[in-house]
Structure 1
Amino acid sequence: MPQECRSQKTVERYIPLVKFLGVFLGNKCEVVLHDAVIKEKSVLAIANGHISGRTVGAPLTDLALQFVVTEKYKESDWVMGYKTQSSTGVPLHSATFFIREDDGSLAGMLCLNFEVSDILQAKELLAKFIDAVGFCDTSHLHSDENEMTNSNVETFTDNIEELTEGIIRSVVQHSLVAPERMTTAEKMEIMQTLQDRGVFLLKGSVALVAEVLAASEATIYRYLNKL
């Protein structure tokens, strides 16, 4: 059986769980079921999709793509309690459960994204009240807020082109040199970063990289061969 068909069959067993968790956890928690093999149309089921604006058929996120590239699923059954934010800047408390095949390969991911903006506001209000009445030193209460400031930004999109271009442009923007003036070595460094982030696992990525780096597709393929 082809890997795509096998993985989808394995992951589809979790579809009823998505609706169950969505109802139980409430409309502040998004529940998403990803197929890790079909990355371009990865979302098989979603509950409370208003949190990210995604629907069934949306692609894998950039952060989930990094889990695939780094093979995070080989280290643990899940990644829990990491902080990120939606594309609109809403803080999220997130977790990912890895769904494996019998041979240990990654079939899919079950992800929870919980909105914590109300909780953080309540915490800030409580901290101000405690400061005002002089109960105790509350400096330690702000540690999570600092973590949120330095958190990962997970990109939620409903189409693969937007996801791919977003990753590419975010990497290129960190360079102090415009693509038109980059040396081959500088472009190779960009290529390495893009490969580490799993961009070249996505269909159509070569054409988008070529456009952003002001190079031909043949040149991008040549860079890939060197990597």
Structure 2
Amino acid sequence: MDTDRVTSQIFSPDVQQPLDLFGIFVFALSGGLLAVRKNMDIFGICVLAEATALGGGVMRDLLIGAVPPVAFTNLGYFLTPLVAGLVVFFLHPEVERINRAVQTLDALGLGLFCVTGTAKAHDYGLGSVASVALGMLTAAGGGVIRDVLAQDPPALLRWDREIYAVPALVGATMVAVLIALDDLTTFTASSAAMIAFVLRMLALRYGWRAPRAWHRNGSRTSEE
């Protein structure tokens, strides 16, 4: 396998773009829903939808020097979050009712973006550790930007939320290992994405959380 362009070994462009747009749309729904809960107007809804959907990818592209970021060179990438924002603006009660389905689709997007983000970082010459970090950033960075704009503590850093970055980290690490073994294919990349997806779904199902520091303030229950 030619590892100079490992992204080309995962999905063909005809498949990659629809998958990207799917993930972007679902991430944008979660951003729009938070904006509604914060009582924002239509502009705020669209801003949070855009930031959630594209923030991670834009930060990755800026860091690796892939400029201008693809979010601004591909009109579909920029317009899709706006469509999702309008869907939430007009139909947010219905979207809230299917929030479990939105979370499931969001987990699929998480798996997809941690894989493609890691591969793209490698294509731009980064080593394994940096590629893994940027794969995780691609998948989870938009959610951090969303929470900051909404003046919430980032869910990524809250102990009382189910793990989100960890599944992305696992998927990204698998991709880096596959690249090192010269074994990144559509099947193996999809397997890494599915493992990240399954971990996220199990976290939602069973309330998995990352451990906190032992003996903080002399008690593990003082803040609970």
| Larger strand percent | 1
**Alignment TM-score, normalising by the size of structure 1:** 0.27
| Larger helix percent | 2
**Alignment TM-score, normalising by the size of structure 2:** 0.27
- Rg larger for: 1
